Amino acid sequence: MEQFLGLPPDGSAHGYQIDHLIVVVHWLMFLLFAGWGSFYIYTIIRFRRSKHPTANYAGVRSHFSNYLEVGVAIFEAVLLVGFSIPIWAMRVEAFPAEKDALIVRIVSEQFSWNIHYPGPDGAFGKTDIKLVDQDNPLGLDRSDPSAKDDITTINQLNLPVNKPVIIYLSSKDVVHSLNLPLFRVKQDAIPGMSIPVWFTPVKTTQQIREELTMYQSIAPQYVSAKLAAGRVVIQDYAGKDGSVFVKQGEIVTDDIIKLLQEGGVIDIQVTPDLSGKVAMRDYDDDNGSFILKKADPISDEAIQKLVAMGTMNLLVAPETPTEIACAQLCGLGHFRMRGYVTVQTPEEFNAWMAEQQAALGN
């Protein structure tokens, strides 16, 4: 049922409970739709005017509809008491011990996610609103001993796999909503409040990427010339005098778009846009040289070479499958309030933290 509903991969320890609840709710919706829809059709046929030309003021004496309503109420009570409340209680009360978890602060603002890790001392440094500026959006006071080893990032949340994460969420301006779809986490960020939310990632970003691997055609397609910037041209395009002004294999630039428009070309044949995708296997040319290595972003130059070789299908996956979205309309720039989650092995996470600490020293 989860696949039928199109749910994304589940990357957290509690995600299966959320998915199960979603499935149960959809079954209830389906039964209600089928039941009430059938009843509606039955009444239209049963009480049509041709069979009942005069009104019957006594009406139907059956109590079937009452029983049906009681059954729906019981189903909804079981759904609430048996499923929803226990899951809610676990998420808001059964927090892991902080000594066993990674503690992170996330401060939202229009339009970014400011992420704050305590350093090796495990203590967050002091912050001061007077210190807030473009280079220090959290107002972190580096003169505080506890702040000297703190790590801050913008729109980039790194987490170790199989370790509980406790996030203290707040907002600098308006109401935002932290949404981690692949980890089944969503929590509003309210100005003036620090709201804790927790989960345990059980899959690395690479593992989720493997689950989302699929073949993608790079066969040519027609697109509007004015929307073709950065794509690879599949055929030559000539002006009215027969002179070629765009050659096959060229990457469309703004100058080329201008030439196409001047030449009266509305649609052109180009390769598809695979920005945001990475290769999930190695691709070599005829000489054995790498065109793409596994996990490499797919560039237009690489597509250009692959098309020339006759390769029309690539094994690809999203470059950033685990993202942070804002689920609350928070202003005109809401659409670009997007961050990234990278779940790593403990060794990879420790190496990342060491790199950040080294950068602080420099």
**CA count, 13 A, side-chain hemisphere, 53:** 1
The CATH homologous superfamily of the domain defined by 98-203+328-361? Cupredoxins -  blue copper proteins (2.60.40.420)
Tell me what the mean pLDDT of segment 204-217 comes to. Answer: 91
- Rounded to an integer, the average pLDDT of 114-126 is 91
Residue 163 pLDDT level (bands cut at 50, 70, 90): very high
Bigger pLDDT: 59 vs 288? 288
Task: Give me the DSSP letters along 177-226.
Answer: EEEEGGGTEEEEE-BT--EEEEE-B-S-HHHHHHHT-EEEE---EEEEGG
pLDDT tens digits, 219-246: 777 777 776 776 777 677 776 666 766 7
Superfamily (CATH) of domain 213-318:
Molybdopterin biosynthesis moea protein, domain 2 (3.90.105.10)
Inter-CA distances, 58 with 39, 45, 245, Å = 20, 19, 84
Structure tokens at 244: 């070629």
pLDDT value of residue 2: 62
User: In the β-sheet with 214-217, what is the strand arrangement from edge to edge?
Assistant: 214-217, 313-318, 277-279
- Stretch among 63-77, 90-104, 248-262 having the lowest mean pLDDT: 248-262
**C-alpha closest to that of 215 among 119, 289, 313:** 313
| Predicted local confidence at residue 162, as pLDDT | 95
Please check the confidence at residue 279 and state whether its pLDDT lies above 70: yes
Q: How confident is the model at residue 258 (pLDDT cuts 50, 70, 90)?
A: confident
Question: Which of 116-120, 179-183, 262-266, 283-287 shows the lowest per-residue confidence on average (mean pLDDT)?
Answer: 262-266
Map tokens 């999930």 to a residue. Answer: 280
Q: What is the pLDDT of residue 65?
A: 74
Whether 98-203+328-361 shares its CATH topology with 213-318 is answered no
Q: Residue 99 carries which DSSP code? A: G
Segment among 84-88, 173-177, 257-261, 347-351 with least mean pLDDT: 257-261
Reported as a single tens digit per residue, the pLDDT across 26-39 is 888 898 899 889 98
Beta-bridge partner residues of 238: 244
Which own/partner pairs from 121-124 qualify as long-range (CB within 8 Å, at least 24 positions apart)? 121/146, 121/149, 124/150
Give yes or no for a contact between 272 and 230, defined as CB atoms under 8 angstroms apart: no
Which tokens belong to 36? Answer: 């009430």
Q: Rounded to 10 degrees, what is the CA torsion of 13, 15, 18, 19?
A: -130
Looking at residues 92-107, what average pLDDT do you find? 90
Mean of pLDDT values over 5-22: 87
Q: Where are the domains of the chain?
A: 2-93, 98-203+328-361, 213-318
